[in-house]
Amino acid sequence: MTVLGYDLLSIFPLLNLVLTLVVMARIVLRPNRTPASRVAWLVVVGAVPLVGMVAYLLLGEVSIGRRRVARVREALARMPAYIEGDDEIVPWRFRNLFRLGHSISGFRPIGGNKGTLLADSNATIDAMVADIDAAKNHVHLLFYIWLADNNGRKVIEALERAAARGVTCRVMVDDIGSRALVRSPHWQAMRDAGIRTASGLAVGNPLLRLMTSRIDLRNHRKIVVIDGWITYCGSQNCADPEFRVKARYAPWVDAVVRFEGPIAHQNQLLFAGDWMAGVKEDIGYLLTPSPPPEDTTSMPAQVIGTGPTVRYSAMQEIFQSLLLSARREVIITTPYYVPDDALQNAICATAYRGVDTTIIFPARNDSMIVAWASHSYYADLLAAGVKIHEYVGGLLHTKSLTVDGELMLIGSANMDRRSMDLNYENNILVHDRELTQAMRARQKEYIAHSREVTRGQVARWSLPRRLLNNTIAILGPLF
As a residue count, the chain comes to 479
Higher pLDDT, 278 or 387: 387
Among the options 340, 397, 416, 421, which is catalytic?
397
Instruction: Work out how many domains the chain is built from and give that number.
Output: 3
Domain encompassing residue 356: 314-478
CATH number assigned to the domain comprising residue 366:
3.30.870.10
185 vs 209 pLDDT, higher one: 185
**From 222, 265, 375, 389, the catalytic residue:** 222
Q: How confident is the model at residue 79 (pLDDT cuts 50, 70, 90)?
A: confident
What average pLDDT does the chain have? 90
Whether the CB-CB separation of 55 and 85 falls below 8 Å is answered with: no
| 227 assigned to active site | yes
Sheet holding 256-260, edge to edge: 114-117, 256-260, 230-234, 223-226, 138-143, 168-174, 196-200
Q: Out of 154, 220, 375, 389, which one is annotated catalytic? A: 220
Annotated catalytic, 295?
no
Residues 185 and 208 in one domain: yes
Question: What digits encode the pLDDT tens for the residues 337-374?
Answer: 999 899 999 999 999 999 999 999 999 999 999 999 99
Provide the pLDDT for residue 131. 98
Mean pLDDT on 27-36: 74
| Domain annotation covers residue 92 | yes
Catalytic residue among 404, 416, 421, 432: 404
State the pLDDT confidence band at 3, using cuts at 50, 70 and 90: very low
Contact 86, 270 (CB under 8 A): no
Whole-angstrom Cα distance, residue 46 to residue 12? 16
Top pLDDT among 212 and 286 is at 286
pTM for the model stands at 0.91
Q: Which of 46-50, 92-96, 446-450 has the lowest mean pLDDT?
A: 46-50
**Cβ 427 vs Cβ 222: under 8 Å:** no
**Interhelix angle 314-325/341-352, nearest 10 degrees:** 10
Instruction: Give the CA radius of gyration of the chain.
Output: 23
Would residue 397 show up in a list of annotated catalytic residues for this protein? yes
Look at residues 240, 274, 298 and tell me which one is the last residue of a structural domain.
Answer: 298
Asked if 51 and 70 sit in the same domain, the reply is: no
Residue 202 sits in the same domain as residue 250? yes
Q: What would the pLDDT profile of 413-456 be if each residue is shown by its tens digit? A: 999 988 988 899 999 999 999 999 999 999 999 999 999 999 99
Q: Could you report the per-residue pLDDT of 132-148, keeping only the tens digit for each?
A: 999 999 999 999 999 99
How far, in Å, CA of 140 to CA of 159, rounded? 10
Residue 427 pLDDT? 98
Residue 307 lies in a domain: no
> For residue 152, is it within any domain?
yes
What is the SS3 string spanning the chain?
CEECCEEHHHHHHHHHHHHHHHHHHHHHHCCCCCHHHHHHHHHHHHHCHHHHHHHHHHHCCCCCCHHHHHHHHHHHHHCCCCCCCCHHHCCHHHHHHHHHHHHHHCCCCECCCEEEECCCHHHHHHHHHHHHHHCCCEEEEEECCECCCHHHHHHHHHHHHHHHCCCEEEEEEECCCCHHHHCCHHHHHHHHCCCEEEEECCCCCHHHHHHHCCCCCCECCCEEEECCCEEEEECCCECCCCCHHHHHHCCEECCEEEEECCHHHHHHHHHHHHHHHHCCCCCHHHCCCCCCCCCCCCCCEEEEEECCCCCCCHHHHHHHHHHHHCCCEEEEECCCEECCHHHHHHHHHHHHCCCEEEEEEECCCCCHHHHHHHHCCHHHHHHHCCEEEEECCCEECCCEEEECCCEEEEECCCEEHHHHHHCEEEEEEEECHHHHHHHHHHHHHHHHCEEEECHHHHHCCCHHHHHHHHHHHHHHHHC
Residue-level pLDDT at 18: 79
Tell me the one-letter amino acid at 354.
G
User: From CA 308, how far away is CA 42, in angstroms rounded?
Assistant: 23
Q: Position 38: which residue type?
A: R
309 within some domain:
no
Q: Give yes or no: 274 in active site.
A: no
Shared domain for 134 and 243, answered yes or no, is yes
Annotated catalytic residue: which of 375, 399, 416, 431?
399
pLDDT in tens, 229-271: 999 999 999 999 999 889 999 999 999 999 999 999 999 999 9
Which one from 131, 174, 175, 227 is the annotated catalytic residue?
Answer: 227
Same domain, 236 and 383: no
Are 156 and 185 in contact, with CB atoms under 8 Å apart?
A: no
* Distance between start and end Cα atoms, the chain: 38
Residue pair 239/231 in contact by the 8 Å Cβ criterion = no
- How high is the pLDDT of residue 339? 93
Lowest mean pLDDT among 51-65, 86-100, 387-401: 51-65
Q: What is the pLDDT of residue 208?
A: 62
In this prediction, what percent of the chain has a pLDDT beyond 90?
Answer: 68
- Exposure string of 251-265, with b = 16+ CB inside 10 Å and e = fewer, is bbbbbbbbbbbbbbb
* 23 and 40 inside one domain: yes
On whether both 287 and 417 belong to a single domain, the answer is: no
Active site residue 444: no
398 within some domain:
yes
> Do residues 468 and 399 share a domain?
yes
Contact between 302 and 101 under an 8 Å Cβ cutoff? The reply is yes
Per the domain annotation, does 327 fall within a domain? yes
- The Cβ of residue 1 has, within 10 Å, a number of other Cβ atoms equal to 6
Residue 160 is assigned to a structural domain of this protein: yes
* CB-CB contact of 338 with 312 (8 Å): no
Task: Check whether residue 71 and residue 55 sit in a common domain.
Answer: no
Residues 282, 133 share a domain:
yes
Identify the CA nearest to 429 among candidates 98, 85, 90: 98
171 and 86 within one domain: yes
On whether residue 140 sits in a domain, the answer given is yes
CA dihedral 218, 220, 221, 222 (to 10 degrees): 130
Are 270 and 391 members of one domain? Answer: no
